[in-house]
Chains A and B, each alone.
Chain A
């Protein structure tokens, strides 16, 4: 992969260069963010080959439609991860991927399920994120994990946790807000406007 040419260019600059068909700029965006996107896709889909397909699709989409990234709405990484999440969830939710979900659920059950899932999560998250997550209540963590990594809507999460929908959405918002405070105080993310920190 070429990287020297764009190694020091900002993410916004990379997107402009991608708009000019500079493949080296896409390679640099991949170098910076592919690990994160693959990690998220694998977390949601479990299946490595499906996760690789999602990552490939996300970066090809960035190549074909760079203007869809709006710097005003967040960092490039947030954008790519949102794309990854959306595509992965689509796969999980789609009829054709029902088998994937069933296999994954069966594997969870067979391998003592939820705790193992959390253990894997804990192992793969950065230390600062783990520390911040430790500040949340179990109910907040459960709601966030089922919604984000399980690909469920908050209404589905409410049914799964046997909680009112309003309680679940409040917990998720409050939990994410507290995570942000923790991550800012630990230095994992800056305290300014996130779109200026990409």
Chain B
């Protein structure tokens, strides 16, 4: 016999319950895989009910594009303030004779701040997206990428064959690595991922990310020129070139 909370799954899927009951259902869902699976299934049905099969009105995408152009990505305020403060301090010693040059410098600084802020915002945004797909979500996202018909996959295998990892890379460079039987490292050690670039056999390696002590699943961005990948075990995170032994390696067929 279903519990009282389970009886709410249907109305939860339809967004037809009060806020307190919604919170209670969400707490329950956090603890139960089976409950999450049932609710996801019911929400999928609700999605189909809402699908009329009609196209969106002409011109609506154009309005969205205009809105995107009118709403640049949000700036990162702490960075804004720090950089603006540095710019202000540099400007304090200015004199009238330097006013024109100062204005040019200020304009250049402003442009640099805008570009830097945009980059910082993008980094923050990528971090947020990455954290949103951590854990199971990350693995599912990786599996989703594997289902992409344009994705390339390569198996990285240990010399002794005891461990392996699968790398999947989609055309825009979004990539995932999933470890299989890769042993967890002790304290002070980390795995690091390398992309093989340049001509095959040339030995050009570019760091693609630090993977931590436990290689389960991780997202990274693969260079367009990558023709293979390698995982090394390192004592220091983020070394500029491999310094220790190669754990796994493999190249695209």
The interface of chain A, by Cβ under 8 A from chain B, is 1, 5-6, 8-13, 15-17, 19-23, 25-27, 30, 34-40, 42-43, 48, 52, 55-56, 59-60, 63-75, 77-78, 81-82, 84-86, 89, 124-126, 129, 144, 147-149, 152-155, 157, 166, 168-170, 172-177, 179-180, 183, 188-189, 193-196, 198
Contacts and interface: CB of A to CB of B under 8 A. Distances in A.
B145 A10 contact: yes
B23 interface: no
B14 A11 contact: no
A139 B18 CA distance: 22
B160 interface: no
A15 B49 contact: no
Given A16-B129, A39-B51, A180-B44, A34 B10 contact: no
Nearest to B63: A56
22 contacts: A10-B144, A13-B148, A36-B47, A37-B50, A38-B57, A40-B52, A52-B60, A63-B68, A78-B43, A81-B47, A125-B53, A148-B16, A172-B10, A172-B14, A172-B16, A173-B6, A173-B9, A176-B42, A193-B37, A193-B40, A194-B40, A196-B147
Contact of A11 (B48, B122, B144): B144
Size bin of chain B's contact surface: 35 or more
Contacts of A177: 10, 42
Given A67-B132, A173-B7, A148 B45 contact: no
A15 B219 CA distance: 13
Given A56-B60, A173-B9, A73 B144 contact: no
A1 B154 CA distance: 33
Interface of B: 2, 6-11, 13-18, 36-37, 40-57, 60-61, 63-65, 67-68, 71, 73-74, 122, 125-126, 128-129, 131-133, 135-137, 140-141, 143-145, 147-150, 170-172, 174, 219
